[in-house]
Amino acid sequence: MLEHFHWGAVFLINIPVVVTGLIGGALVVPASTAHQETPWDALSSLLSLAGLAALVFCIKEVAKADRNWVVVAVTLVIAVSSLALFARRQGKLAHPLLDFTIFRSRALSSGALAAGLAMFAIAGLQLITTQRFQLAEDYTPLQAGLLVTCILIGALPASLIGGAVMHRTGPTPLIVGGLTTGTLGLIGALFALPHGVVMFGSALGVTGIGLGAAMTAASSAVMGNVNANRAGMASSLEEVSYEFGSLTAVAVVGSVFTTLTALMGMSDAYNVAAIICCAVIGVGAIVTGLLLRGVNVKQER
């Protein structure tokens, strides 16, 4: 009953936010000037949807303790074939949903990668942390939710400050430095966890600072390194990077956490799942650093 109450409270709290956004958007946002003559390819959308859905299903099945290898094989075949057909179709369309040539820009590729990895870490941490503290520490859903907001408390000012200083530093130090800071903050959180929730929450805040700065710079790198006629495509790519990062985090980290909890206990399972998040953003810092070496990254117009 309590769980239903909290979900209802969350829903009610979001109603005025949504209404305010709709009214504010109608008053402030200018009318769209999109090219109406550009067609929408429904088949491409269906292929991408089928491919991504099958890929997530495959990941979740692999992570299960009682996995069914037939299901794994079938979903993997569907994912690979659907995404391959999607990529092939884009090369033949006059107006593709995704022009893969934009990935020739190492700056754009680094921005999209950083955005996805940052959201992977945030979504994964939020999921396993709320579960651990509710189930192992007897936190209420509200208390667990307030704990993980430490990440957002760190990310919000870092995003604003990053946007303010980016014209001086450029996106590269913020992307690489942000992911590195996020990695160090998460390592600190794992060491701080046995010493109390205050130290743990503070370390989560440091993680948020790094990831918030990285996401702001990633957005600038994506939007600033495409031609004007590809701005909508780049914007969609950025949004997909965020959503795909969150999606894969829930599928991978959530499945690993659930499976390992049954095998080794919740505390050890939490540590392993958190280390996965840490490794992902740590590798992301290295890869983006290599991709951006010697590249003049343009900022968002």
> In whole angstroms, what is the distance from residue 228 CA to residue 298 CA?
13
Count other C-beta atoms under 10 Å from residue 119's C-beta. 22
Predicted confidence (pLDDT) per residue in 138-195, tens digit = 888 888 888 988 998 998 889 888 888 887 888 888 899 999 999 999 999 999 988 8
Closest CA to 208 of 172, 159, 250, 243: 159
Residue 112: its H or E element: helix 106-135
Q: What letter represents residue 169's amino acid?
A: T
pLDDT above 80: residue 122: yes
> In whole angstroms, what is the distance from residue 215 CA to residue 269 CA?
28
The DSSP 8-state label assigned to residue 226 in this structure reads S
**Cβ–Cβ < 8 Å for 44, 93:** yes
Percent of the chain with pLDDT over 70: 88
**Cβ–Cβ < 8 Å for 208, 155:** yes
pLDDT above 50: residue 10: no
> In whole angstroms, what is the distance from residue 185 CA to residue 183 CA?
5
As its CATH architecture, domain 105-301 has: Up-down Bundle (1.20)
Closest CA to 147 of 196, 102, 95: 196
Tokens 């400050």 sit on residue = 161
Q: 186: helix, coil or strand?
A: helix
Closest CA to 62 of 81, 79, 75: 75
> In whole angstroms, what is the distance from residue 71 CA to residue 75 CA?
6
In terms of Cβ atoms closer than 10 Å to its own Cβ (0-12, 13-18, 19+), residue 32 is exposed
Under 8 Å CB-to-CB from 268, ≥6 apart: which residues?
260
Q: What is the pLDDT of residue 93?
A: 82
pLDDT above 70: residue 67: yes
**pTM summary value:** 0.80
Q: What is the pLDDT of residue 263?
A: 86
Under 8 Å CB-to-CB from 166, ≥6 apart: which residues?
174, 216, 217, 220, 299
Q: What is the pLDDT of residue 34?
A: 55
> In whole angstroms, what is the distance from residue 27 CA to residue 32 CA?
13
Least confident of 32-41, 105-114, 247-256: 32-41
pLDDT above 70: residue 14: no
